[in-house]
Structure formats: structure tokens, C-alpha cells
Amino acid sequence: MQQTISAAIDIGGTFTDTALSIPGRTDLITAKNPTTPQDPTLGALEGLKAALTQADKQAEELQRFIHGTTLATNALIERRGAETAVITTEGFRDILEIAYERRYSQYDIMLQKPDLIVPRSRCFTVKERLNVHGEILTPLEQSSIDAVIKQIDASGVQALAICLLHAYANPAHEQQLRTAILKRRPDLYISLSSEVSPEAREFERLCTTVANAYLQPLMVEYLTRFELEFKQLGLNCPILMMTSSAGMTTLDTARKFPIRLVESGPSGGAVMAAKVASQSQLNKVLSFDMGGTTAKLCLINDYTPKTARNFEVNRAARFIKGSGMPVRIPVVEMIEIGAGGGSYAGIDRLNRIIIGPESAGSEPGPAGFDRGGTIATVTDSDISLGYIDPTLFAEKRLTLDQGKARKAVEETIGQKLALDTDKAAYGISQIVDENMASAGRMHAVESGVDISIQTMIAFGGNGPLHATRVARRCGINKIVIPPNPGVGSAVGFLDAPVSFEIIRSQYSLLNSLDIDSINQLLEQMLIQAREVVSCGAPNAELVSNCSAFMRYHGQGHEIEIPLNGEQLVAEDLGELLEKFETEYAFQYSRIVPNMEIEILNWAVKVTTQESVSEPLSAVNQRQNTNSAETRSIICDSTSEPVSASIYHRSNLKVGDSFTGPALVVEPQTTTLVSSDYQAHIDTALNIIMTKKEQ
Amino acid sequence: MTLNQTDLQVMWDRLLGVVEEQGQALIRAAFSPIVRECGDISAGIFNLQGEMLAQAVTGTPGHINTMAEAVKILITHFPVEQMKPGEIYMTNDPWIASGHLNDFLLLQPAFLDGRVVGFTSCTSHLFDLGGKGMGPDGTDIYDEGLFVPPCKLLENSEVNQLLLDIIKVNSREPIANEGDIYALIACCETGVAQLLTMMREFNLNNLDDLSRHIIETSRQATIESIQELPQGTYNYVLPVDGYESEIELHAKMTISDQDIQVDFSGTSGCSKYGINVPLNYATAYSVFALRCLIGSDIPNNAGSLAPFKVTGPKGCILNSQHPSPVAMRHTLGQMTPDLMFGCLHQAIPERVPAEGASCMYDVPLRHAPEVTRNGGKPFGIELTHNGGTGARPGLDGLSATAFPSGVWGSQVEISESVTPIIIKRRELIADSGGAGEFRGGLGQRLKLTPATDDAFVVFLSLERMKYPALGRQGGHQGATGKITMCSGKTIPGKGEFRVNPGETMIVETPGGGGIGDPSARSEAAIISDLENALITPESAKSIYDYSV
């Protein structure tokens, strides 16, 4: 728990979650209220007031305040950003149009490419050219600046993305251009590729710059208003913003780089899981966050969520890779599939059960919600199988109609495949669980890890319900369900460090590396990152990590190798080689002797030093618990009816042990303890499920 | 469907997952740029009879069918009853594996309780096998590099070191070749391990029921899709540029209520150079095109492929025989979808796209010979770019986009960082898309020049420089491709060519054909094309009769 009074607010698409941590209290105070899409700040104010009232505290007493929002993600998906224009180097007007020259779906001849926000009519060019080393081949021509300003005026845009070739190696032309334009048009929001994403690969760099420029007017306005409203409520500590990379940043940085605010909710969930992993000393974890529309899986190695430098905004249906807009920002790497409680079930023409990606959302919701839905969803299958208590759902705000759920399952699947309702519901479960497990296995393969030795940490409204079923299909034998699994992201915000990460390209071959020039580069990057972090955490102790992205000459994938310190010395090179080979051998079984090694990118990450979690004390004594309350459910491994014990999570104490089949009920979710699992409660009140010995 | 059948579906999904995982792992570990950029690999799972049950959906269609057939041939060389655990078989025979020597196919039996229960197989493109390398200028297969007949790569789990040494010593890139072969081995082994894990999880001791379910369901659904088409025989002739002379590709397509048969009779004979196509490869691209329009939602396996039958007279350029040179078999292979669409269009005009650039504009280049002789650093890169696709029914074509191949375009900043070249321009060419109610995709113009005093040599094997992509139903043809020097000199589309310092080479990729009469194009679409400068005001006036 934090040593300060801290509040976290996560504004999601449907709900706004608030979590409040008070020193001296072991539990968190949480609130969940509907998001107010017209003015999200209102819902956030409501949530905080409700939590403060419960805790009997005032806004003035808050010492830490963290905010995450889906606003940036949604603005990109729903295309609610500003009119934006692009300026690139002469001869390269079509970086967006040409993109990867590729169709994301092999057999789909009717496919439409992702909409990359800026049409060709608003893509302008200026005469200038740098080479790969950042040396000027053609100086930036004044007359072309004048011409481009006229084009910008005529286009009526509010925001501008500037991305000149090789600007990552030398930002001078981009900066000159910005200065010249701002002199004439001080009202424009301008994003430079050399600041937003200084990495080689012009297409992704431009996309990232476009997305940033597109979001900036909207997010600046939103953040400014949010800050004002909360100040008026009495908040007098700074507001920190949750980013996509499991860290927080200041409002000022958020205004400058709003693109880094996308996917902050899921990244909060990963922080929460990492914290649980660290307390429980679990160094290989797969987090499993299943909500209403999607499931997200993330690998957490040594208490650190796996990060990536790529993210795709707004993938087309079925979450196909390559069907979205690529942005290069530091993100927690997750695999996301269209499988949630609300995902629709159906039958394809091969008579196969298919699940999602379309979802019933909150309106009409699953058929069992009795709000007019008639198509079976995953939740309807779970209700039909008896896993969800109709009277104890969603803090009793909603009584489920088991009859309607069963009817939907029968009509959507049962009749068409000549299966009785239980078997049809079981079929839906088998397929959706296999889909999620398959996504997890694929993610593990792509990351070079063995999924079966991971521990699963499950949360989200449906994660605890499907955890054993997905784990079994991945060969995973141990599952942790943390407390407050329904508001995992907001809980995660409370534990996130203030951090900032910068990645820059400077191409070098390992055996002819110019150490001085790399050291200069690293130093500049560190200064910049420290400045950002210090603003958000003025007196905190900072930690920095530098790394190199290395690959064999000509290979497509780089491997991130940590550096020893902040500066390279000659002796480090041998060690870099050694670390690269070790990591390469680990991921691909063997190294390639005598192959030249190249380094494309350098990264620095500065973060506040977080107190190391105390390992949990062991459970001194386990006591077998029993429950008088039982319900008949369909066993998820044999498909036969069995009697499951019902436990209420709030009544479970440290050391309580029980065996499946059982259901653990709490306000926002239910944990299914399958018949081949046993469970106990650890000293942090996590539910620990382990596979029974066969 | 009984509950048992949901189990079967889960297992089918699992197999599809396994082959995708295998494919991804292989792509990640690969050295050949073409593998990484185009996903030029394949991975599949087979039953005891050698029938394919699942295949990874990868970037290039060249492995569809080829792998399904190759495994059947390989198990005649290595009878199942003589197979032993720890063995892996391999070949790069173009007429077995995938049409040229660079593609190596591996096959591993999966043993459960001492018996073979199935196989995994994978294919990957190796970087270099000696000979004349990746170019069309070899005059027989012996010119094109090392030929490895079906052999045991692994015996008693030990790699045949002599074999590996031979492959290395015959290559300009021995280390990359070795790396790629080990990646293939790892891919096979992973597939076998996962297949066995699945069989144990579901308590299977053979794949019979699962195979029957997968193959029968897929075959039946495919036949149902074929039955939706008007039966009949449809002929089409596609003239293409060729190398030393122009070539005609002929197809006779017969759609019956059970299958689709394609016959290449009438197609021109082989070329002297390496643009000849083994039938397995021509079949792969042809069936790919058919499956884009017919049952594209059914996964590739022995059942979904069975109703498509492709034949051609031996010795025609789409059924070239040993020892014809075949290194650049993809140049014409990629044209066969337009040949198929030409037939299908007669049957289902409302569903077929216009012709497109089709052949990828691949520009492999490397240092001129004197560069290394003078002590300079060797360099090389394979730039992959594309023209426009044909207009689709109801939709414009895609500009500068690969079809039928799935290659990724090279990014300028990366190309310039790994090779001493400067790319001075990469932009769409206005008016290059064929006009029509639905416009063809645009081609692009690239300008390349040496960045230093080092000259480079390019090796071309390109199409659609003489014969443009035709439109349909009154739609216009796309622009042809073109290679020129800044001096104005035109360069032929096939063969070797040198670019000296100070010279600039200009590559123009072809545009796609249009669909429908241009007069039917909506005003909104014309205005949008003008605003986006995809067409010029002149052609708006002359073709669409639209004035600003």
C-alpha cells in the first residue's frame, strides 16, 4: 500500500473506476460509476466524490492523483481528432498512401486498407534532404517553406505532422520548419517526428506523428479542463497521467505527446498484475484480463510486464495484424482478441461454432441481462452452465434471467447443431476458451517463452470465471486471482512509477561502434528523460536503464539488450555480444557464429525508484473450509452435471483451503474453481488455484 | 454435430494454431530477407497418408498445394514403415518442393508410442545456393545452383554434417543457409511436439477421425461453393512479356458440379532462361486465385484443395520439366491469377477483379564486381515494390499494393541504412490506374542512385512492361511498367543492368486495370481523385469529361 493518500481514476468506455488508498488501511476503497461520454470529467468527479465520501476524506487531503483515460484511444478509433496535414520531404508525398504495400488478409480481395487519417490532398512536401547519417544533402529551401505555408492556410487544418526523411538522425530541418511556420501561424499544433518518435522507418514514424498531431488539440483541451475542475474540487497535488508503457507522466508531457496516453487502462492492469507477481515472488507470469468485449494477455517476466515499441490503433474486425494504424510508442505488449463476456456466438457454414469479434456491448448486453438481447453470448453460456449466480451479479444491481440465457444458447447453437442446451453452452465455452488459449500460446511462441511454466494472474469482469478453462488449455497449473479483480486497472495506477522512455535510431555495426558518439546520444536522451520524470516526481530517487536493439546483419527482428550503465566503455562491447548471443540462443535455440551484428536503436528509460514489495509471508496454517451452499453446474472438463460449493469471497480468510468444483462470488466477478483444481487464500487475500495432482 | 464434433472442432482449431505458431517461429528466425519481408515459408501438419490437415496462412501463395503434394511424393521415397524416430527428410527439388532451388522442404514423422501417427512439414527460402543466384540468366537447372534430392537430413537425431557442409560450401551465404536449415529443423520439431501434446491431451492414438472430419467438412463446403457457380467451360489467353520472346498463357477452365479443372494446353513452350514454371508452382498460384473467390473462408487442407485440379502439357512454360531453368518461376507464376480471373470472369462477371500489376517489382541489387576487387565493402539488398491492383467489383483497386504475393514494400530509411544507395523519390504516378467506373490502383515511381562512388548492379525479372493490366466491362487498362535511366534510355525488364555513380535509375511500377465505363464513375469519386491528384485535370477532362 502507498504511504500517501492516493487516488486513481480510470475512465473506460463503459465505466469509470476509482480506487483510493489510505495509509493504515489494508483494503482499497473503490467506486464504479458509468462513464459520461459527453464530458468524461463529470463521471470522474462523481467517482472521486463517492470514494472520498466512503473514506470520509476531502480532496485537499490527497497527496497523489493518477488518471488514465480511453479518450485518446477512442478519439483515434472514432475519428474525433483535429483536421491534420502532413509535411514530408519532396519526392515522398505518399508515405501514408503507399504504406507497407501490403494486404493484411491474404485471401480477401475486397479489403480496404486502414484509414490513416490524412488524405493525400493534405500531404505536402518541402525541398530538403538528409542522408542516413543526418548530413545535409539538400538544404531546406525557403521558397518551398513559403509554398507549404500557403497550402496549409488553404487546407484549413488545425494540426500538422512533420516527418522528414532521416530526421531521427538530425532534427534541424524539422525544427527550422516548425519555427518558420509558427512565425506565420502561431495557432497551429505542430508535431515533429524527431520528437514524437525518433526512430528509422519513415512509415511508422509518420503514422505516429500524425496520430499525435491529430489528438493534440482535443487532449490539450480535455486535460486543461480536467485539471481545472479537480483543482476547483480542492485537489492540490499534481495530476499524473497513466501512459501506455506502465508508467506515469506529467500533464505537460501528456499535452505534448498525447499519443502516449493510448491504452493506459490495460497498461494499469499489467502494473497491478506485476505487483501481485512481485509480492508473490512469481517470476514467470501470464496476465489474463477478460472483460466484456475483449481478452488481453500479457507476459510478465521478473515482475516486469513485457514491453514493445509498436502498437496498432483500431485494428479491423477479428483483430487482424496489420489492419490498424501502426504507432511506435513504448507500450506494454499485449495480445488482444475479440473474446469477452458479451462476444456473440454463432455458426459458420462449416457448422463450426464461432465466437466474436462482434459483441453485445452494454446494450442490449447478453440475452441473460434481459434487455432485449436474443443472440447467445459467452456470458449466456456461463449462465447456462450455472457458473454465474443470477441473484448475485453486478453487486445485485442486475438480476439475470437464466431462462433467457438458455433460450438464446438453444436457439443460436443448440437447434442448429442438434445439441441440448447444456452441450451447446459447453461448446461455446470450449471454443472461446480455446481461442484465448491459442492467442496466449501464439504470443508465448512469438516471445520465445514456454507458456506452460507461467503462472496465470486473472482479472477483469470475466477473467476469474474463465481462468481455469484457459489455463488448462495452455498447460498452466497455477492461477492467482488478486483482490478487486474487477477494477484492476485503477488499482494498478496506484502502483505505477513515474517514468519516461525515449528510443532513438543511430545505426551502427557492433564491431565498428563509435563509442563516443553513442555515449553523447545516450547522455542527451537521459537528460531529456530525467527532466520529464523529475517534473512528475520532484524529489524522488530516479533509476535509469539503457539498452541497445541488436540483430544479426540483415535480420528483421531486433532483440533488446540492456547496457551495464549509462555510458559505454570499450570492454562493454564484448559483453554486449555475449548477452546478445545468449538471448538469441534462448529465443531461437542457437546462435549464428561469425555473422555481423548491427544496432539500430538505442533506448533509455528513467523511472522513479519504487519500493520493492515485501514478499508475502507464507500461510502459516491452512484450514479446510466447507460451504453449506451448493449449486449444480456443468463440469467444465467432463461436461457432466456436478455439485459446486459456493463461497463468498468477503468471508474467506487467510489459509482457507477448498477444492473444486466451487464458485467464489464477489461483487464484480465470480471465480470458477474447476473440479481438477484446488484453491486456498494467501496472506494478501489472493485466491491461489493449483491443479490437483493426477 | 454431436458433442464429439465440438471436440473435433477444438482439435482442428488447435492444429491451425500449431501451424501458425510454427510459421511465426520460422519467419522470426529466418535470414533470407524474402522470408522476413514476404513470409515466404510454409508449415503444415499431415496425416499418416500424407494428406494435409492444416497449413499456416503465410505471405506468399507459392506454397499452397505445393506442400500438400510434396509430402505425398516424399513418403514414396521414404516409406512410412521404414521411418525411425529422430529422422527428418529434406529436398529442394523444384518439382517436388516449391518451384526453384532456393525453397527447401523438410518432413518429420511424429511418433506416438513407437508408431508414426502423422507428419509435420515446413518450407523456407534459403538465401543463396551458388550458381548464377537469384536471376533469370541461368540456361538450365545446373546453372542455378545446388540441387539436393530427397535425403535424410537427420538420422538418430544427428544432422548429416557432410550434407550440411556441401550446402554451405556451395553458397555465397553459408552462415545464413546453415541458420535457415536449423530454423527449419526447429520448426518441424516444434510442430511434432505440439501435435503429440494435443493427441495426449485429447487421448487420441491416431488422427483418423480428426482427419476425416477436417477433410470431409472442407471438401464438402468447397464443393458447395463450386456448385454456386455456373457450370461450363471457359477459355482465356493472357499474353505476357516473356524474356527473349513474348509468351501466351492459355487456360481452359471447366466448372462442373463436383470440381474445377484447369488445363494449360496451348500455353507457349519454355524460355531459354529461368522464368519457366514447374506445374506444382503454377498450380499453387492458380488455386490461390480460385480460392480467393471460391470458398475463401475454408482453411487450406487436402479436402479444400481436392476439388481444384490443374494440368498442363509437359514442356509448356507452366509445366516446365527438368532440367529447365526455373530460378525466377514466380515472375510468371504471379501472372496466373490474372489468367484464372480471365476465365472466371466469364462465369461470374460480378465477382471478379480487373487485371493488376500482379508481378511484384522486385529490384535485387548488389555491388558492382570491381567494388570488392578494389577492397571495398560488399553490399546487397532486394528492394521489393509493387504496382497497382485491378479494380474490384464496386471498389477501386489498391495503389502500390502486392497481389497475388504478400510482400512488404521496402522502407527508404532502412534501405539507405544497409546499402550505399539514395532513393530520391517514391511517389504514386497520377493517371497510372486504369480509368473506369471503378479505377485501377496506381503504380509508383522510384528513383535510385549510388550514394557513394560505388556502382551497383541490378538483376531484373519483371512483367507488364509490354502488356498492361487490362480492364473489364469497359474499364481502361492500367499504365505499363517502365525502367529508364535519367538519360532517357529504356532498360529491358529482364536481365542484369549496371548503375554508375552519378546515374539515376527510374523504376515505374504498372497500374491496375479499371472496371466499368469511365462515364459511369461517380462525380464524387472523380472530384476526390482530382483533389488527391490521383488523376490529372487533363485526364479528368479527356476520360471522364469532367472539368474543374
Could you give the CA distance from residue B167 to residue A225 in angstroms, rounded to a whole number? 67
Nearest CA in chain B to A555: B31
Fold of A270-497: Nucleotidyltransferase; domain 5 (3.30.420)
A594 and B451: CB-CB below 8 Å? no
Report the residue from A94, A353, A445 with minimal CB separation from B427: A94
Could you give the CA distance from residue A94 to residue B533 in angstroms, rounded to a whole number? 11
Portion of chain B with pLDDT greater than 70, in percent: 98
Establish if B408 touches chain A: CB-CB under 8 angstroms.
yes
Whether B361 shows a pLDDT value over 80: the answer reads yes
- Residue A165's H or E segment, with its range, is none
Average pLDDT of the residues in B166-190: 89
Each domain of chain B, given as residue ranges in start order, spans 3-218, 353-548
Among A89, A97, A105, A107, most B C-beta atoms within 10 A, so best to mutate, is A107
B13 and A438: CB-CB below 8 Å? yes
Each domain of chain A, given as residue ranges in start order, spans 6-77+220-264, 84-216, 270-497, 501-608, 623-691
Report the residue from A112, A555, A639 with minimal CB separation from B31: A555
Partners of B401 on chain A (C-beta within 8 Å) are 101-103, 113
B425 and A91: CB-CB below 8 Å? yes
Establish if B435 touches chain A: CB-CB under 8 angstroms.
no
Among B38, B164, B427, B446, most A C-beta atoms within 10 A, so best to mutate, is B427
Report the residue from A201, A430, A554 with minimal CB separation from B6: A430
User: Mean pLDDT of residues grouped by 10 in chain A (694 residues)?
Assistant: 82 86 86 85 94 94 93 88 98 97 91 94 98 96 97 97 97 98 98 94 96 97 96 94 92 95 91 93 95 90 89 76 89 89 92 88 84 94 94 74 96 93 95 93 82 93 96 95 89 90 89 92 94 87 93 77 91 91 78 81 90 82 91 93 95 95 92 96 95 84
- How close, in Å, is residue B400 to chain A by CA atoms? 6
Query: Which DSSP state fits A72?
Result: H
Count CA atoms within 13 Å of residue B147 on its CB side: 18
End-to-end CA distance of chain A: 38
Establish if B291 touches chain A: CB-CB under 8 angstroms.
yes
CA distances from A564 to A441, A544, A577, A612 (A): 32, 11, 13, 21
- In total, chain A counts a number of residues equal to 694
Whether B310 shows a pLDDT value over 60: the answer reads yes
Nearest CA in chain B to A438: B17
ω into A357 cis (within 30 of 0): yes
Q: Is A294 helix (H, G, I), strand (E, B) or coil?
A: coil
Phi, psi of A526 (to 5 degrees): -65, -40
B408 and A103: CB-CB below 8 Å? no
Report pLDDT digits (tens) over B62-104. Answer: 887 889 999 999 999 999 999 999 999 999 999 999 999 999 9
Partners of A556 on chain B (C-beta within 8 Å) are 28, 30, 33, 36-37
Could you give the CA distance from residue B185 to residue B108 in angstroms, rounded to a whole number? 9
Partners of A639 on chain B (C-beta within 8 Å) are 3
Answer whether A6-77+220-264 and A270-497 agree in fold. Answer: yes
pLDDT grade for B3, boundaries at 50, 70 and 90: very low
Fold of A6-77+220-264: Nucleotidyltransferase; domain 5 (3.30.420)
In this prediction, residue A2 carries a pLDDT of 54
Q: Which of residues 304-323 of B touch A (CB under 8 A)?
A: none
Q: Which of residues 289-348 of A touch B (CB under 8 A)?
A: 348
Among B417, B515, B526, B527, most A C-beta atoms within 10 A, so best to mutate, is B417
B399 and A97: CB-CB below 8 Å? yes
- From the CB of residue B456, how many other CB atoms can be counted at a distance below 10 Å? 26
B292 and A107: CB-CB below 8 Å? yes
In this prediction, residue B103 carries a pLDDT of 93
Q: Is A312 helix (H, G, I), strand (E, B) or coil?
A: strand
Please state whether beta strands A64-69 and A6-11 pair in parallel, antiparallel, or not at all (unpaired).
parallel
Partners of A507 on chain B (C-beta within 8 Å) are 417
Count CA atoms within 13 Å of residue A187 on its CB side: 6
Report pLDDT digits (tens) over B526-543. Answer: 999 999 999 999 999 999
- How close, in Å, is residue A571 to chain B by CA atoms? 26
* Three-state SS letters, B92-147: CCCCCCCCCCCEEEEEEEEEECCEEEEEEEEEEECCCCCCCCCCCCCCCHHHHCCC
Place of cell 454435430: B1
Portion of chain B with pLDDT greater than 90, in percent: 79
Whether B213 shows a pLDDT value over 90: the answer reads yes
Strand B482-485: give its sheet, edge to edge.
Answer: B421-428, B444-450, B505-508, B482-485
Whether B275 shows a pLDDT value over 70: the answer reads yes
Number of inter-chain CB pairs under 8 A, A vs B: 195
Count CA atoms within 13 Å of residue A243 on its CB side: 29
- How close, in Å, is residue A388 to chain B by CA atoms? 23
Cell digits of residue B339 = 489468367
- How close, in Å, is residue B83 to chain A by CA atoms? 26
Establish if A638 touches chain B: CB-CB under 8 angstroms.
no
Nearest CA in chain A to B177: A592
Establish if A431 touches chain B: CB-CB under 8 angstroms.
yes
Please state whether beta strands A84-89 and A687-691 pair in parallel, antiparallel, or not at all (unpaired).
unpaired
Could you give the CA distance from residue A455 to residue A450 in angstroms, rounded to a whole number? 11
B1 and A418: CB-CB below 8 Å? yes
A46 in Cβ contact with A33 (< 8 Å): yes
Report the residue from A107, A201, A350 with minimal CB separation from B296: A107
Establish if B73 touches chain A: CB-CB under 8 angstroms.
no
Report pLDDT digits (tens) over B409-465. Answer: 888 998 898 889 999 999 999 999 999 999 999 999 999 999 999 999 999 999 999
- How close, in Å, is residue A60 to chain B by CA atoms? 52
Cell digits of residue A344 = 456473440
A418 and B291: CB-CB below 8 Å? no
In this prediction, residue A1 carries a pLDDT of 45
Q: Which of residues 187-246 of A touch B (CB under 8 A)?
A: 200-203
Partners of B58 on chain A (C-beta within 8 Å) are 106
In sign, the C-alpha dihedral spanning A254, A259, A263, A267 is negative
Could you give the CA distance from residue A268 to residue A250 in angstroms, rounded to a whole number? 16
Establish if B384 touches chain A: CB-CB under 8 angstroms.
yes
Query: Which DSSP state fits B438?
Result: B
Establish if A154 touches chain B: CB-CB under 8 angstroms.
no
